[in-house]
Amino acid sequence: MNPYLHELLSRLRSRSVWVVLVVLGVAVALGVSTIEGDVPSVQINGVGFDYYADDAYHFEIWAVDVSGHPVSGVQVTLSIAPQPNFTTFPPPPPPPVVFNTTVTTDSSGFIEFVVPVAPGAYAATVGASYAAVPRASMTGLLANSFYFGPVAVGEVNLFESPVNVVALGDYLDQDQLLVVWAGANGTAPIDDSVEACAAVVSSFAEPEPSNCTGLTDVTSEGPLSGFLTLVPYPSLSMPAVGMFESLVVFVEIVNATGGVVAINDLQGPSGPIPAGVTTPAYLVTGPGPGLVMDLATTFGLFVPLAAFALAYWGYARPRVSGTVDMVLVRPVTRRGLFLVRYASVALLMGVVTTAAYLLLDLAAATALGQPIPPGFLLALIGITTAGSIAFAGLIFLLAHLFRSAGPIIGIGTTLLLLFSLFWSLVQSLPVLVEGPVFNSAQLLNFGARSQLFAPPQLPSAVVGILTLQSSYLEGGNRLVYQASGVTPAVVAAVAVAWIVLPFALTLWCVARRD
């Protein structure tokens, strides 16, 4: 048998393969728990209001997902009982339920309950279930008990602001805003119009903008089409936001005479952020990072760890301990041995990573009834393998830069931890440097670009690039990456550079020989 083929087969049969399997086994176990953990992050929000008319409470709900898309098929149960009287002791038994009805949302996510009771104070409970996704969690109105207070005839008891806008972050990963507007007695004021505006303003701007007036980047407006109106999101390119600038977005309801009747500020404070406040307040917080992103993050740590173990045990340790010399006196060249051992690491990482992701895909399909989309899966497998090979390449290189195991293990471990677990610290460096005035848009921009400097971050970057945050399987924010110039081609090029550079340097060291 050819000595190099013999070496390759020996590597694939070596004990370090078991180490890799154990490490990735732990990663798969964590991945499965991630899948379980992500189930509750399937969020369906409810927005709505109630009013009293025609001797009945009218209770209206829109079920929308975290991106503001209407969700049909949500079974919502409204249960109403008179407010208990707590003025006596012992308290009387709870009053009987006077209304208990379950209704399923229609294609627009809409439900209307009509509760024929006399005006008064009631305790109401909203329960919901969503058959399409087992164990989906409900937030907002769909998962609350609340006080269903007396509302005067002709008035509206709004649970939230008249203008409810469902949107995420500075750079919305959707094309349109969902605006929920309620007029008196549940009538949609169709004479009014909705206007969304966005502008980049200096953090030190005075006076601080508080509505669209005076802002030049008004890009979206149109008539209210009913309680629920979708309007295009005012787009701004990411590079337009400077270091000491903020992106502000306002949604205004303007009546027929031009008066502004309601304003909702998506951005929160647009001026200098007070000391101690680092995160602008958003109207709607997003879901968890998403299943695919969670997997990318978990594997971003464990797959390079496995590659580290393989590269260390298969190359670095034999080299620094001198045991590789007993192989090098055999009929092999030093370069050939390096290439074969490098190839064995790459091959093993590719095979084992693929197997691990396929297992997780199976788990996701079983637990959630929805497998990871094939495109994501392929991209994840590819970039995770590439990232791990790149990291292994660093260990190969370290083996030539140091003559003892200590620095290799120390530097390798430090890099691995920094690149994976502690990379968020690196990503928050601008805040540490600039203080709380550093705006979040800039931070997102920096965070996206910083991922290119750490191989274990590449899977997360790919997920971020490929996904919109419109499905519970996803966790990306495509517009952030687009605005930051972090495109698939850039990530691919960086991954190749991460692989090629340490490889070429190591090959150069091998050619020099000791």
Q: How far is the CB of 329 from other proteins (least distance, A)?
A: 5
Q: Which residue has the tokens 């270091």?
A: 243
Q: How far is the CB of 504 from other proteins (least distance, A)?
A: 19
Q: Are 376 and 463 in contact (CB under 8 A)?
A: yes
- CB nearer to other proteins: pick between 317 and 449: 317
Q: Could you give the CA distance from residue 489 to residue 367 in angstroms, rounded to a whole number?
A: 33
Please state the three-class secondary structure of 295-315 as a single string.
HHHHHHHHHHHHHHHHHHHHH
Q: How far is the CB of 38 from other proteins (least distance, A)?
A: 41
Q: Residue numbers of the site for other proteins (CB under 8 A)?
A: 1, 3, 6-7, 10, 318, 321-323, 325-333, 512-514
Q: Are 62 and 180 in contact (CB under 8 A)?
A: yes
Alpha carbon of 487 to those of 274, 293, 430, 484: distances in Å? 34, 17, 22, 8
Choose among 208, 189, 209: nearest CA to 254: 189
- CB nearer to other proteins: pick between 279 and 333: 333
- CB nearer to other proteins: pick between 36 and 325: 325
Q: How far is the CB of 431 from other proteins (least distance, A)?
A: 45
Provide the residue type at 61 as one letter: I
- CB nearer to other proteins: pick between 6 and 135: 6
Q: How far is the CB of 509 from other proteins (least distance, A)?
A: 12
Q: Could you give the CA distance from residue 35 to residue 473 in angstroms, rounded to a whole number?
A: 9
Upstream peptide bond of 232 is cis (omega within 30 degrees of 0): no
| Strand partners for 252 | 195, 263
Provide the residue type at 507 as one letter: L
Q: How far is the CB of 324 from other proteins (least distance, A)?
A: 9
* Region of 268 on the Ramachandran plot (φ > 0 left; ψ -120 to 50 alpha; else beta): left
Q: How far is the CB of 396 from other proteins (least distance, A)?
A: 18
Q: Which residue has the tokens 């991460």?
A: 498
Q: How far is the CB of 413 from other proteins (least distance, A)?
A: 21
Q: Could you give the CA distance from residue 391 to residue 385 in angstroms, rounded to a whole number?
A: 10
- CB nearer to other proteins: pick between 33 and 321: 321
Choose among 450, 464, 458, 467: nearest CA to 493: 458
Q: Could you give the CA distance from residue 374 to residue 361 in angstroms, rounded to a whole number?
A: 9
Q: How far is the CB of 325 from other proteins (least distance, A)?
A: 5
Q: How far is the CB of 342 from other proteins (least distance, A)?
A: 18
Q: Could you give the CA distance from residue 74 to residue 202 in angstroms, rounded to a whole number?
A: 43
- CB nearer to other proteins: pick between 374 and 512: 512
Q: How far is the CB of 345 from other proteins (least distance, A)?
A: 18
The C-alpha R_g of the chain, in whole angstroms, comes to 29
Q: Which long-range contacts (CB under 8 A, 24 or more apart) does 206-209 make?
A: 206/271, 208/269, 208/270, 208/271, 209/248, 209/250, 209/270
Q: How far is the CB of 3 from other proteins (least distance, A)?
A: 4
- CB nearer to other proteins: pick between 5 and 425: 5
- CB nearer to other proteins: pick between 133 and 510: 510
- CB nearer to other proteins: pick between 206 and 514: 514
- CB nearer to other proteins: pick between 377 and 395: 395
- CB nearer to other proteins: pick between 69 and 334: 334
- CB nearer to other proteins: pick between 16 and 193: 16
Q: Which long-range contacts (CB under 8 A, 24 or more apart) does 411-414 make?
A: 412/308, 412/312, 413/308
Helices (H), 114-194: none
Structural tokens at position 485: 């110039």
What is the DSSP code string of 202-213? ETT-SSPP-SST
